[in-house]
């Protein structure tokens, strides 16, 4: 029997790939943690906020809020990025929870001194050096003056690492960049490429543009004293 199908009996199938979004797990209730959740959502991450006793209304930008350090409900996998931003309140417990998932990339918001002390505590708890080597600190490779800056640097590092992996390039750590804060406008400035700078005593100040440098030079004592004019 002849077919009456206009296509002659052939079938065309259109396949639209559905690639899972990367998962950003942020542990802590600090301003840096809250900013990270918001930035991660804007950048297309699935976001999971983890804080002891947290409620969903505490993190409105999060896809999932966990009130305990059990990360299993978030289903972490190879494209999961965890940032511990508890600001010293329960760093060791948070890191131990993240490191329990071998495929998760783990970063800690901490100074070198506090980070090393935290790693030593985990070593005393029995975690081996190979596991502890997975922890990157300070998250983002720099220490921002404000917690919102810290969140930005931490997410920049994650995005950079994911892009490098996708392109098959060796990961270029953000640690190679050094940032300073423009004393006039508060913007982060890469000191290796900054075109505008001023030296006062033994300190070099870096500026995002000529306008900020000009305002600084008109009254540097105001900015050095922290009394920034409106």
- Residue 72 tokens, joined: 């299993």
64 shares its domain with 85? yes
In the prediction, which pLDDT does 209 show? Answer: 84
Residues 141 and 202 grouped into a single domain: no
For 3-23, write each residue's pLDDT tens digit: 555 555 555 666 655 678 999
- Both 169 and 184 in one domain: the answer is no
User: pLDDT tens-digit profile of 25-74?
Assistant: 999 999 999 999 999 999 999 999 999 999 999 999 999 999 999 999 99
Q: What domain range is 213 assigned to?
A: 179-224
Rounded distance, CA 83 to CA 75, Å?
16
Is residue 14 assigned to a domain? no
**Under a CB-based contact definition with an 8 Å cutoff, are residues 98 and 25 in contact?**
yes
**pLDDT value at position 206?**
87
pLDDT at 134 over 90: yes
Same domain, 85 and 196: no
Q: Give the mean model confidence (pLDDT) for residues 170-199.
A: 69
pLDDT for res 176: 39
pLDDT at 10: 59
User: What total number of domains does the chain contain?
Assistant: 2
Question: What does the alpha-carbon distance between residue 74 and residue 80 come to, in Å, rounded to a whole number?
Answer: 10
Q: Which two tokens stand for residue 152?
A: 């930005």
Domain check: are 219 and 120 in the same one? no
149, 194 contact by CB (below 8 A): no
Q: What is the pLDDT of residue 183?
A: 85
DSSP, residue by residue, 137-206: SSGGGS--SSHHHHHHHHHHHHHHHHHHHHTTPPP--GGG--EEE-TTT--EEETTT-SEEEEETTEEEE
pTM across the whole model? 0.67
| CATH code of the domain covering residue 87 | 3.40.50.720
């Amino acid at each position: 029997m002849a077919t009456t199908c206009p296509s002659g009996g052939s079938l065309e199938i259109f396949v639209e790939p559905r690639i899972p979004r990367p998962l950003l797990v942020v542990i802590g209730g600090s301003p840096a943690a809250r900013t990270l959740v918001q930035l991660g959502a804007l950048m297309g991450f699935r976001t999971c906020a983890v804080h002891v006793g947290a409620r969903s209304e505490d993190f409105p930008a999060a896809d999932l809020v966990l009130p305990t350090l059990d990360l299993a409900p978030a289903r972490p996998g190879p494209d999961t990025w965890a940032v511990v931003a508890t600001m010293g309140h329960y760093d060791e417990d948070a890191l131990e929870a993240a490191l329990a998932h071998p495929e998760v990339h783990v970063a800690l918001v901490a100074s070198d001194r506090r980070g090393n002390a935290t790693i030593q505590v985990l070593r005393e708890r029995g975690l081996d050096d190979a596991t502890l080597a997975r922890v990157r600190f300070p998250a983002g490779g720099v220490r921002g003056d404000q917690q919102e800056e810290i969140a930005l640097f931490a997410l920049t590092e994650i995005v950079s690492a994911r892009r490098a992996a996708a392109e098959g390039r060796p990961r270029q750590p953000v640690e190679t960049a050094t940032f300073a804060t423009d004393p006039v406008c508060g913007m982060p400035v890469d000191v290796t490429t900054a075109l505008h700078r001023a030296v006062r005593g033994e300190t070099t100040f870096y500026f995002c543009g000529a306008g900020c440098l000009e305002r600084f030079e008109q009254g540097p004592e105001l900015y050095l004293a922290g009394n920034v004019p409106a």
